[in-house]
């Protein structure tokens, strides 16, 4: 969507076609086009939810229903104008989605879809059984939408209105994805851990996405009610909710255009199948369900990304947007703190009866590289998790700059000024190096969803991108700035993680086995980078088990074995320490 | 509301609850071993009832055709895999299992059905046919994406549900069916009339649950499935192939659901699309146990059955609304008691 000139031409052509449709196309196609527009709006929300944030909902049809029934009831029974009922519908939808999200989004991914199935069915039966909503017959004589005194009564007039809203939603969603909150949303796909390490409150962000998708569905329902001028429960059933998801998945849940493609394909296919299948099978019924079901299974087995990537491949690739020259983001607070920068005080982690970290105490002083080493299973990674907030402490505490951070959630620890990398590289496939590093700068920006969707964030965005480019240059990866991070070699991926951590302007950098799996040359490059960072005044905790690597670059070492501190001192002392040698070579010496 | 009505409603609720419990156990089993949220379980139930009802009329061509079709597809997939892996020598055995056996079942159905065999044989036939659909479905739809995320598996499951509902309409028509009761006996218990049918359903469910417990605790295959549920990678290293575990699980799951279908047939009129709502009640029950705990799932299902029965008395139009809204407080409770919130990708 961003930048490239062909996208602009394609977009202009698309709009031209849309404007021409109501003028020249037969009524049947205009009607179909209206429905495709309405469905696209709903599918767009699912693209964001399913394809980008890695969540899903089968209950979008119910949100469409809330939008439709709110306006239907308020305009027919109470005589409200549709513009007010839209606002009320959105408020009701937001409240319901917030409540559902708050309950389910803190749990594993599959509870949200299950809850949406159940709630979709509940609402459907509720619509059908409430007398004031007309029961199963529904509500009729809904007034048409009017702009001033001009009534959008004719389908042809509404067509332009529906598609204007659909395109606005598309534009806003594409803006959102290419922004500070958008990067955070994309980071949710691999789970909370990575996003939270950069200050994103994962559960909150997921809720935001869910509410956003629900609001889009509500708008679609509101339009539907004033297009049809009558509502009944059928189009808001769980089956329709499932079809919306099919649209997003078939079209390609990874791109906003996938929503339009999917809505178009499924709508046309349904039309065709409803015409021919009953004839073929010799009776009437919803036989298109069979084809949809089989089609989706095949698609998920063979081409999980949907149809859009196939179309995108045919289009010329747009050049990446150049990184603007912009003033730096505000530096974060690095006030001098007397005493050690980080203190691990009698930290203990027990998993049931197994004590992985046993009352461990050590300090990290400002400006040093401290190595935390030990044989496999010594408890290094658990210690790392206790400091970074990935695991809560059983007892003890971790104190950073004089304030306790023990057992705080990772996003709070990130806010205090601690950046980290992951032992198993956590990068989002398809996301560029620049975007990954810009995600690291999440805490240094303030743009929220609304500003991002309306593209009011360009100044901050330019500064963020410039900052990301600077960190990439600092780590020597400029040549790969626009490449997909997932396509780089492991050594480069680890450097991307370091650049990402640096982008948050940390006071303390936590590196979890950065040399694991690297080749000799890559290790040397990594060592050079870390020495450079230290020279600039960065404090680093390095968890490693590669002795050679650690000995060359650390100022001090803490050695762990069986969850306890075995030794602490300068690298040369540690190398001579008989207990350390025994821990590493013990079995062999006997 | 007086005592006889309470007793009647409770009896209804417990009878339905017993069926939901059986469903919930199937759902927990399938989820634990394969991570598939088995949305189409309801279609297996409906197919069970409707196949039996079809056999009553001497018809079974639809389900026989489906079995034959799936047998051919599964055979083709096996052939593709065997040749791709350079294991052409093992192909005949695989074809015999994946194509030959289901074709034989389909043929048996097709030829025996018009003879109108005794009721007991009809039940056996219906159970065999619907059970055979389970492993075939796993092989065709789920095994190729077995390593995908829970979310992708769920979407596949919903797609399969869609296809099976459409096929159900094609094979069984839009009319609902009931099967004859197993017994018309009833007796008095402390002034309350208890129908033999209810006792039979509850007793069969309990017997089946015990049989399953024995299977999981005492047999090698049962233990293999439990091992897979606890640790997929570990089980694989111990020589339990995930494909085998998945196939066995879907066979068991299909059998349990088909059994539910046979049990529910005399109680309710079952339509081609009834299964979804019934299985969702099983899901609500299963969610009580967080989709992993068997006793909590069974208890939850009983509660769902009783709640449904009483709400159909007080507010029959809102019966479904009440049952499905129950999921919200249950999820809230789960969310407050579950600490772990990391994705299981």
Q: Are residues A16 and A48 in the same domain?
A: yes
Report yes or no on A330 lying in a domain.
Answer: no
Q: For residues A83-106, give the mean pLDDT.
A: 90
pLDDT digits (tens, 9 = 90+) for A197-253: 999 988 889 899 999 999 999 999 999 999 999 999 999 998 899 999 989 998 988
Tell me which chain A residues have a C-beta less than 8 angstroms from the C-beta of B149: 54, 109
Out of B144, B163, B174, name the one closest to residue A289 (CB): B163
| Disruptive mutation site among A96, A103, A197, A305 for chain B (greatest number of B CBs within 10 Å) | A103
Total domains present in chain A = 3
How far from chain centre, in Å, is Cα B104?
A: 23
Q: Cβ contact (<8 Å) for A287 and B169?
A: yes
Find the helix or strand (DSSP H, E) in which A540 lies. strand A539-543
Report how far residue A504's alpha carbon sits from residue A200's, in angstroms, rounded to the nearest whole number.
12
Of B272, B261, B264, the residue nearest B128 (C-alpha): B261
- Which residue, chain included where needed, has tokens 């020597």? A476
A403-404 sheet: strands from edge to edge: A354-364, A342-351, A395-400, A403-404
Which residues, including other chains, have CB under 8 Å from residue B54's CB and lie 6 or more apart?
B60, B62, B63, B113, B172, B177
Q: What element of type H or E holds A223?
A: helix A202-228
Question: Which H or E run includes A564?
Answer: strand A564-569
Regarding whether A473 and A361 lie in a shared domain, the answer is: no
Has residue A328 been placed in a domain? no
Chain A interface, mutation test: which of B34, B77, B155, most A Cβ atoms within 10 Å?
B155
Positive or negative, the CA dihedral B312, B318, B320, B322 is negative
Instruction: Looking at the structure, tell me whether residues A458 and A530 fall in a common domain.
Output: no
Kindly indicate the confidence band of residue B339, based on its pLDDT and cuts at 50, 70 and 90. Answer: low
Per-chain mean pLDDT for chain B:
87
Q: Which of residues 20-59 of A touch B (CB under 8 A)?
A: 50, 54-56, 58
Spatial CA neighbour of A183 closest among A497, A506, A449, A481: A449
Residue of B nearest to A240 (CA): B162
Interchain CB distance below 8 Å, A54 and B160: no
The gap between the terminal CA atoms of chain B, to the nearest Å, is 50
CB neighbourhood size of A491 (10 A): 18
**ipTM computed for the complex:** 0.88
B343/A191 touch (CB, cutoff 8 Å), yes or no: yes
Question: Both A482 and A553 in a single domain?
Answer: no
Q: What is the dihedral of CA B317, B320, B322, B328, to 10 degrees?
A: -150
For the domain that residue A29 is a member of, what is the CATH number? 1.10.3470
Among partner residues B141, B283, B332, which is closest to A103 by beta-carbon distance? Answer: B332
Give yes or no for A289 touching B (CB within 8 A): yes
Question: Percentages helix, strand, coil for chain A, rounded to the nearest 5?
Answer: 60, 10, 30
Give the pLDDT of residue A5.
Answer: 63
Write the CB contacts of A334 (distance below 8 Å, at least 6 apart in sequence): A417, A507
CA distance B284 to chain A (A): 8
Q: Average pLDDT of B212-232?
A: 85
pLDDT(B345) > 50: no
Bridge partners, A369 (sequence order): A540
A559 strand-pairing partners: A373, A567
Query: Please, is A61 exposed, middle or buried when counting C-beta atoms within 10 Å of its C-beta (0-12, 13-18, 19+)?
Result: buried
* Dist. CA A507–CA A526, nearest whole Å: 19
pLDDT in tens, A140-190: 888 988 887 788 878 888 899 999 999 999 999 999 999 999 999 999 887
Q: Does A60 lie at the interface with B, CB-CB under 8 angstroms?
A: no
**What pLDDT sits at residue A590?**
40
- Asked whether residue A320 is domain-assigned, the answer is no
Residue in the structure block whose two tokens are 């071993």 = B33
Distance CA(A524)–CA(A517), nearest Å, equals 13
Instruction: Give SS3 for B177.
Output: strand
Give A125's contacts in chain B (Cβ within 8 Å): 318, 320-321, 324
Check residue A283 and give its pLDDT: 73
User: For residues A216 and A211, what is the distance between their CA atoms, to the nearest angstrom?
Assistant: 9
Q: Note whether B344 and B231 are within 8 A (CB).
A: no
Q: Which of A499, A524, A545 is the last residue of a domain?
A: A499
The answer to whether the CB atoms of A293 and B174 lie below 8 A apart is no
Which chain A residue lies closest to B322 (C-alpha atoms)?
A122
Give the whole-angstrom CA distance, residue B197 versus residue B186: 8
How far apart are the CA of B192 and the nearest CA of chain A, in angstroms? 33
Give the Cα separation of B160 and B147 in Å (integer).
18
Domain boundary residue, one of A468, A499, A530: A499
In order of A65, A362, A371, B111, B288, the CA distances from A340 in angstroms are 58, 10, 15, 84, 48
B186 to chain A nearest CA, in Å?
Answer: 35
Q: Is the Cβ pair B163, A294 closer than 8 Å?
A: yes
From the list B148, B170, B287, which residue is nearest A114 (CB)?
B287
Most confident of A33-42, A400-409, A539-548: A33-42
What single-letter DSSP state applies at residue B268? S
Distance CA(A65)–CA(B93), nearest Å, equals: 53
* Chain A with chain B: Cβ pairs closer than 8 A: 159
Do A241 and A390 fall into the same domain? no
Asked if the Cβ–Cβ distance from A293 to B37 is below 8 Å, we say no
Residue A548 · residue A574 · CB < 8 Å: no
Considering only the beta carbons, identify the residue of B150, B160, B341 that sits closest to A110.
B150
The total number of residues written for chain B in this structure: 345
Question: A114 vs B283: CB contact, 8 Å cut-off?
Answer: yes
Contact yes or no for A293 and B160 at CB 8 A: yes
Assess contact for A62 and A120: CB atoms under 8 A: yes
Q: What pLDDT is recorded for position A586?
A: 65
What pLDDT is recorded for position B174? 86
Q: What is the mean pLDDT of chain A?
A: 88
Residue of A43, A60, A364, A357 whose CA lies nearest to A236 = A60
Q: Do B170 and A287 touch (CB under 8 A)?
A: yes
Chain B residues closer than 8 Å to A279 by CB:
none
A518 is a domain residue: yes
Chain A hits for B140, CB-CB cut-off 8 Å, are: 297
A429 inside 8 A of chain B by CB: no
Beta carbons within 8 Å of A580's beta carbon, 6+ residues apart: A559, A566, A567, A574
Q: Which domain holds residue A397?
A: 342-417+507-589
Q: Both A287 and A172 in a single domain?
A: yes
Any domain includes A59: yes
User: A203 and chain B: CB distance < 8 Å anywhere?
Assistant: yes
Q: Is A388 on the interface with B (CB under 8 A)?
A: no
Q: Between B242-264 and B196-218, two packed helices, what is the crossing angle to 10 degrees?
A: 170
Distance (Å) from the alpha carbon of A502 to chain B's nearest alpha carbon: 25
Residues linked to residue A541 through DSSP beta bridges, in sequence order: A370, A510
Question: How many residues does the structure list for chain A?
Answer: 590
When CB atoms are compared, the residue of B163, B284, B318 closest to A118 is: B284
Boundary residue ending a domain (A499, A525, A543): A499
Sorting pLDDT into bands at 50, 70 and 90, what band is A530?
very high
- Same structural domain, A168 and A237: yes
* Maximum mean pLDDT: which of A360-369, A542-551, B182-191: A360-369
Of B151, B276, B335, the CB nearest to A106: B335
Residue pointed to by tokens 């069926």: B19
Residues A163 and A225 placed together within one structural domain of the fold? yes
Q: What pLDDT score was predicted for residue B341?
A: 41
pLDDT of B193-219, one tens digit each? Answer: 788 888 888 898 888 888 888 888 888
* HEC assignment per residue over A234-296: HHHCHHHHHHHHHHHHHHCCCCHHHHHHHHHHHHHHHHHHHHHHHHHHCCCCCCHHHHHHHHH
Q: Which of B138, B72, B57, B144 is nearest to B103 (CA)?
A: B72
Same domain, A493 and A517: no
Q: Which pLDDT tens digit goes with each residue over A2-20?
A: 445 677 787 888 888 888 8
Query: Each residue of B49-70: pLDDT tens digit?
Result: 999 999 999 888 889 999 999 9
Condensed to tens digits (0 to 9), the pLDDT of residues A363-380 reads 999 989 999 988 888 888
- Per the CB < 8 Å rule, is A118 touching B317? no
Tens of pLDDT, residues A49-91: 988 888 888 889 999 999 999 999 999 999 899 999 999 999 9
Reported for B239-248, long-range contacts at CB under 8 A and 24+ positions apart, including other chains, are B242/B146, B243/B143, B243/B146, B245/B33, B245/B34, B246/B33, B246/B34, B246/B138, B246/B142, B246/B143, B246/B146, B247/B135, B247/B138, B247/B139, B247/B143, B248/B135, B248/B221, B248/B224
Q: Do A192 and B342 touch (CB under 8 A)?
A: yes
Domains by residue range for chain B, with CATH: 3-58+116-337 (1.10.3470)
What is the three-class DSSP state of B124? helix
Is A297's CB within 8 Å of B159's CB?
yes
Rg of chain B (C-alpha set): 20
Note whether A396 and A289 are same-domain residues: no
Is A262 among the domain residues?
yes
Q: Is A420 helix (H, G, I), strand (E, B) or coil?
A: strand
Contact B151 A56 (CB under 8 A): yes
Q: Where are the extended beta strands (E) located within A352-486? A: 354-364, 369-373, 395-400, 403-404, 418-420
Closest Cα in chain A to B145: A301
Q: What distances in angstroms separate CA A350 from CA A9, A357, A378, one per listed residue? A: 61, 7, 13
Q: Chain B contact for A459, CB < 8 A? A: no
Residues of chain A in contact with residue B164, where contact means CB-CB under 8 angstroms, are 293
Task: Say yes or no: A126 and A26 in one domain.
Answer: yes
Distances (CA, A) of B317 to B269, B283, B295: 18, 21, 31
Q: Categorize the per-residue pLDDT at A342 as very low, low, confident or very high, splitting at 50, 70 and 90.
A: very high
A20 and A63 in a single domain? The answer is yes
Q: Is the pLDDT of residue B112 over 50?
A: yes
Helices within chain B (DSSP H only): 3-34, 41-56, 61-84, 91-95, 101-112, 119-137, 150-172, 196-218, 220-230, 232-237, 242-264, 274-288, 294-314, 319-325, 327-337
Mean pLDDT of A548-567: 89
Three-state SS sequence of A27-71: HHHHHHHHHHHHHHHHHHHHHHHHHHCCCCCCCHHHHHHHHHHHH
Q: How far apart are CA A41 and CA B315, in angstroms?
A: 36
Evaluate if residue A400 carries a pLDDT over 90. Answer: yes
* Least confident stretch, A330-334, A420-424, B332-336: A330-334
Asked whether residue A373 is assigned to any structural domain, the reply reads: yes
Q: Is A125 on the interface with B (CB under 8 A)?
A: yes
Give the three-class secondary structure for A556: strand
What percent of chain B lies above the pLDDT cut of 70?
A: 97
The CATH number assigned to the domain holding A536 equals 3.40.50.300
Residue written as tokens 């495709």?
A36
Helices A520-535 and A490-503 sit at what angle, rounded to 10 degrees? 10
Paired strand residues for A400:
A342, A403
Q: Do A122 and B156 touch (CB under 8 A)?
A: no
Q: Is A98 on the interface with B (CB under 8 A)?
A: no
> Would you call B325 and A119 a contact, using CB atoms and an 8 Å cutoff?
yes
Residue A157: inside a domain = yes
Residue A489, both tokens: 């070699």
């Amino acid at each position: 969507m961003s930048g490239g000139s062909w996208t602009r031409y394609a977009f202009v052509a698309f709009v031209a076609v849309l404007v021409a449709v109501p003028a020249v196309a037969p009524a049947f196609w205009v009607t179909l086009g209206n429905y495709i527009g309405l469905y696209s709006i709903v599918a767009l929300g699912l693209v964001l939810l399913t394809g980008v944030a890695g969540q899903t909902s089968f209950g979008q049809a119910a949100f469409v229903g809330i939008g439709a029934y709110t306006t239907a009831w308020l305009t027919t029974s109470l005589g409200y104008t549709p513009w007010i009922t839209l606002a009320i519908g959105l408020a009701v939808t937001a409240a319901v989605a917030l409540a559902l999200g708050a309950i389910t989004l803190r749990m594993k991914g599959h509870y949200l879809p299950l809850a949406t199935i159940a709630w979709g069915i509940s609402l459907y039966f509720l619509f059908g059984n409430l007398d004031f909503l007309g029961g199963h017959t529904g509500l009729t004589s809904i007034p048409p939408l009017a702009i001033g005194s001009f009534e959008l009564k004719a389908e042809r007039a509404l067509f332009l209105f529906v598609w204007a809203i659909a395109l606005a939603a598309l534009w806003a969603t594409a803006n959102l994805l290419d922004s500070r909150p958008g990067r955070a949303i994309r980071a949710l796909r691999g789970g909370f851990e990575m996003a939270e390490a950069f200050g994103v409150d994962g559960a909150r962000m997921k809720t935001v996405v869910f509410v956003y998708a629900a609001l889009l569905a509500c708008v679609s329902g509101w339009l539907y009610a004033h297009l049809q001028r009558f509502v009944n429960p059928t189009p808001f059933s769980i089956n329709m909710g499932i079809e919306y998801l099919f649209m997003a998945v078939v079209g390609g849940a990874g791109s906003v255009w996938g929503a339009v493609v999917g809505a178009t394909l499924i709508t046309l296919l349904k039309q065709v199948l409803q015409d021919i299948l009953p004839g073929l099978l010799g009776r009437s019924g919803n036989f298109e369900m069979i084809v949809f079901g089989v089609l989706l299974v095949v698609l998920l087995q063979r081409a999980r990304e949907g149809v859009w990537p196939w179309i995108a491949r045919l289009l010329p690739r747009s050049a990446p947007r150049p990184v603007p020259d912009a003033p730096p983001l505000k530096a974060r607070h690095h006030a001098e703190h007397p005493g050690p920068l980080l203190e691990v005080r009698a930290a203990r982690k027990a998993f049931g009866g197994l004590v992985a970290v046993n009352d461990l105490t050590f300090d990290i002083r400002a400006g040093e590289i401290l190595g935390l080493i030990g044989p496999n299973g010594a408890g290094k990674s658990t210690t790392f998790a206790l400091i970074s907030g990935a695991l809560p402490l059983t007892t003890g505490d971790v104190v950073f700059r004089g304030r306790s951070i023990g057992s705080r959630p990772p996003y709070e620890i990130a806010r205090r000024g601690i950046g980290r990398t992951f032992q198993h590289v956590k990068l989002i496939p398809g996301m560029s190096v620049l975007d990954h590093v810009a995600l690291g700068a999440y805490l240094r920006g303030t743009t929220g969803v609304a500003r991002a969707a309306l593209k009011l964030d360009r100044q901050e965005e330019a500064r963020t991108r410039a900052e990301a480019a600077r960190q990439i240059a600092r780590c020597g990866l400029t040549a790969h700035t626009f490449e997909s991070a997932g396509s780089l070699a492991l050594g480069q991926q680890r450097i991307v993680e370091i650049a990402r951590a640096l982008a948050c302007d940390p006071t303390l950098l936590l590196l979890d086995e950065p040399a694991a799996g690297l080749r000799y040359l890559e290790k040397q490059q990594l060592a050079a980078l870390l020495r450079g960072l230290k020279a600039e005044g960065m404090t680093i905790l390095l968890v490693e088990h590669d002795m050679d690597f650690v000995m060359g670059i650390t100022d001090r070492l803490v050695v762990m074995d069986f969850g306890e501190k075995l030794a602490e001192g300068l690298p040369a002392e540690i190398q001579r320490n008989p207990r350390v040698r025994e821990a590493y070579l013990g079995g062999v010496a006997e | 509301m007086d005592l006889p009505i309470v007793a009647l409603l409770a009896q209804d609720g417990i009878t339905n609850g017993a069926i939901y419990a059986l469903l919930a156990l199937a759902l927990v089993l399938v989820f634990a071993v394969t991570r598939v949220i088995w949305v189409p379980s309801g279609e297996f139930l409906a197919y069970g009832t409707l196949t039996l009802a079809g056999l009553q009329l001497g018809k079974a061509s639809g389900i026989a055709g489906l079995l034959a079709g799936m047998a051919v597809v599964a055979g083709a997939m096996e052939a593709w895999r065997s040749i791709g892996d350079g294991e052409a020598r093992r192909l005949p055995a695989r074809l015999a299992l994946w194509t030959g056996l289901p074709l034989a079942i389909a043929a048996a159905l097709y030829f025996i059905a018009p003879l109108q065999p005794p009721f007991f044989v009809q039940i056996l036939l219906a159970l065999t046919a619907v059970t055979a659909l389970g492993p075939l479905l796993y092989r065709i739809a789920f095994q190729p994406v077995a390593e995908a995320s829970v979310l992708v598996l769920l979407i596949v499951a919903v797609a399969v549900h869609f296809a099976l509902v459409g096929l159900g309409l094609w094979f069984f028509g839009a009319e609902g069916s009931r099967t004859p009761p197993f017994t018309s006996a009833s007796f008095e218990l402390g002034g309350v009339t208890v129908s033999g049918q209810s006792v039979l359903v509850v007793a069969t469910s309990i017997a089946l649950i015990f049989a399953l417990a024995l299977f999981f605790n005492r047999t090698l295959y049962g233990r293999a499935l439990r091992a897979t549920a606890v640790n997929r990678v570990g089980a694989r290293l111990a020589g339990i192939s995930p494909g085998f575990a998945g196939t066995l699980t879907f066979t068991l799951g299909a059998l349990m659901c088909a059994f539910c279908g046979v049990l529910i047939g005399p109680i309710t009129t079952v339509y081609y699309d009834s299964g979804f709502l019934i299985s969702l009640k099983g899901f609500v029950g299963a969610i009580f146990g967080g989709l992993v705990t068997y006793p909590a799932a069974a208890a939850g299902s009983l509660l769902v059955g009783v709640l449904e029965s009483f709400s159909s008395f007080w507010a029959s139009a809102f019966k479904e609304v009440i049952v499905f809204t129950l999921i919200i407080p249950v999820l809230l409770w789960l969310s407050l008691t579950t600490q772990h919130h990391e994705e299981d990708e």
